[in-house]
Amino acid sequence: MSVIKANNLTKRFGDFEALHGLSFSIEEGSITAVVGPNGAGKSTLLKIISGLIKRTSGEIKVLGEDPWKSQKLPRMLSVILDKPYLPQFLTVEEVIKEATSEFDADYSYALSLVEELNLTNFLKSKIKDLSTGTKQKVQIVFSLIKNPKIIVADEPTANLDVASRFEVYNIFLKLREKMHTTILISSHIASELIAISTHILGINNGVLRYVGEISKMIRKDLLEEFYITVDNVQRAVSLLKSYTVEVYGNQLKVRGNLVNIVSELVNNGVRIFYIRNSILDKSVQGEVGWV
């Protein structure tokens, strides 16, 4: 079942047309990677879907509602932006308690999210005293407390290190599995994002270049081959005995599920500096026209 439908969706800012007649649908329970170069129109599209800005023309329906006009949708959809917007003089605990009260949510569930994102030690800290990455984690917890049917996340992991990014990805994967939550997520780190996604929506210069299942774009075995740069190659290789691993200096070529591989390394003290999948990157860039 489609939960988001767009037909000839267009957005102009003055004389500049940021989105040019986009038509697509997003299936319930999917994780859709929204990809494209800087300035492609990704953020504009996600803000229209979220009801933060109004389309110029065309149609957009989210859970059957017009996101710009709907009063029901904010209760069913959560927005996560690249820059956290939180009350600066409240503590993390106060922000979470206000959110659980506002959305009539389970406080114990909120605390489980806090624990999963390693925020327990920050509960008594004021938002203004947190690092940008920690603020982003708090924003993510705040957004998930109401158990939304749809999550729209625009560069939600931009300020996070590799380990923290995968903590967030793991939460998204669990939400999809347990709650059948539909997730749209953009990131400048395409390899990581597409590794956890089921579908891809590619935009370039405001034009929709590709929409569909990732598996129909790229063979599954190629999706699971990654180059990972680490600080301790010997330890990493010993931890990944059950995977196919080749060593190139401080870089590992590994085949397998990226989320599981990263978790194995990070949980055992191996620091990851960089992840890439050159085949994946080239395939996506070719489809989207992203050079």
- The pLDDT tens digits for 37-57 are 888 899 999 999 999 999 999
Residues 159 and 255 in one domain: no
CATH number of the domain that 114 lies in?
3.40.50.300
Residues 165 and 120 in one domain: yes
Count of beta carbons in the 10 Å neighbourhood of residue 264: 17
CATH number of the domain that 246 lies in?
3.30.70
The last residue of one of the domains, among 217, 245, 261, is 217
Collapsed DSSP state (helix, strand, coil) of residue 55: coil
Residues 118 and 250 in one domain: no
For the record, the structure tokens of 61 come out as: 């329906």
Count of beta carbons in the 10 Å neighbourhood of residue 182: 26
| Residue 78: HSE in the Cβ half-sphere, 13 Å Cα cutoff | 23
Cα separation, 50 vs 175, in Å, equals 19
Residues 148 and 104 in one domain: yes
Residues 130 and 227 in one domain: no
Residues 130 and 271 in one domain: no
Q: pLDDT value at position 160?
A: 86
Among residues 146, 261, 260, the alpha carbon closest in space to that of 252 is found at 261
Residues 172 and 270 in one domain: no
Residues 185 and 47 in one domain: yes
Domain of 253, in residue numbers: 220-291
Q: What is the pTM of this model?
A: 0.87
Residues 86 and 46 in one domain: yes
Residues 105 and 210 in one domain: yes
The last residue of one of the domains, among 165, 200, 217, is 217
> In this structure, are strands 244-248 and 225-230 parallel, antiparallel, or unpaired?
unpaired
The last residue of one of the domains, among 172, 189, 217, is 217
Residues 245 and 147 in one domain: no
Q: pLDDT value at position 291?
A: 46
Residues 170 and 112 in one domain: yes
Is the pLDDT at 285 greater than 60, yes or no?
A: no
Is the pLDDT at 177 greater than 80, yes or no?
A: yes
Q: Which of the residue ranges 60-64, 215-219, 242-246, 261-265 would you say has the lowest mean pLDDT? A: 215-219
pLDDT band at 234 (very low <50, low <70, confident <90, very high): very high
Question: How many domains does the chain contain in total?
Answer: 2
Spatial contact of 200 and 186, defined as CB atoms under 8 Å apart: no
Cα separation, 4 vs 169, in Å, equals 22
pLDDT band at 217 (very low <50, low <70, confident <90, very high): confident
Q: What percent of the chain has pLDDT over 70?
A: 93
More confident residue, 258 or 283: 258
